[in-house]
Amino acid sequence: MLTLTAMTTEVFQHYLKNAITDYASDKVKNGTWSKNNAHELAVQSYNHFLPNGIDTPNHYLYSIYLKETLIGHTWIFFDSTEKMIFIYDIHIFEKYQNQGYGTLVMTMLEEQAQQLGAKKLSLHVFGYNQRALHVYQKVGYHSTDYNLSKEL
């Protein structure tokens, strides 16, 4: 049985360290940031969006459990004015990927969004992350914009 549990402060500290590293790496892979300052920019981004950590209003950070085993994390933001949830992060640990858990988490987030009164769910996926894109499309998401680049 898969469950979403509010992230504890202890888990958040571990999550934050890994999320910053992963985000910096994603931005470098995507060609948005240089490797030289990616970590610093990622720290600034997380400080901007989560100035009060897990206590930042309208932000919901969850640990994903399979029975009693932690298998990942997710982070959403509820914009009450727009009645919209933005999914900032879904991370399933590598050992548990490709087993349908990401799809289940997406369904659980839809239920959470409805409970909060949201009428829309949105997210961003890096262009190179075809596996995540496939999951999102599988559960009914469609592209709203394309940003294209070409290295010279």
pLDDT at 111: 95
Structure-token pair, residue 83: 């009645």
pLDDT value at 3 more than 90: yes
Q: Is 82 inside a domain boundary?
A: yes
Q: Is 17 inside a domain boundary?
A: yes
High-pLDDT (> 90) share of the chain, %: 78
> Mean of the pLDDT values across residues 62-86?
97
pLDDT value at 124 more than 70: yes
Closest C-alpha among 83, 79, 87, 77 to residue 117: 83
Q: What is the number of structural domains in the chain?
A: 1
Structure-token pair, residue 37: 């300052």
| CA contacts within 13 A on the Cβ side of 149 | 9
pLDDT value at 144 more than 80: no
CA angle 116, 73, 92 (to 5 degrees): 125
> Mean of the pLDDT values across residues 26-48?
95
Structural domain of 51? 2-138
123 phi, psi to nearest 5 deg: -160, 170
> What is the pLDDT confidence band of residue 147, given thresholds at 50, 70 and 90?
low
pLDDT value at 139 more than 80: no
> What is the pLDDT confidence band of residue 81, given thresholds at 50, 70 and 90?
very high
pLDDT value at 117 more than 80: yes
pLDDT value at 109 more than 70: yes
> What is the pLDDT confidence band of residue 18, given thresholds at 50, 70 and 90?
very high
Residue 112, domain CATH: 3.40.630.30
**Are 79 and 58 spatial neighbours (Cβ–Cβ below 8 Å)?**
yes
Q: If you write DSSP's letter for every residue of 122-144 in order, what string do you get?
A: EE---TT-HHHHHHHHHTT----
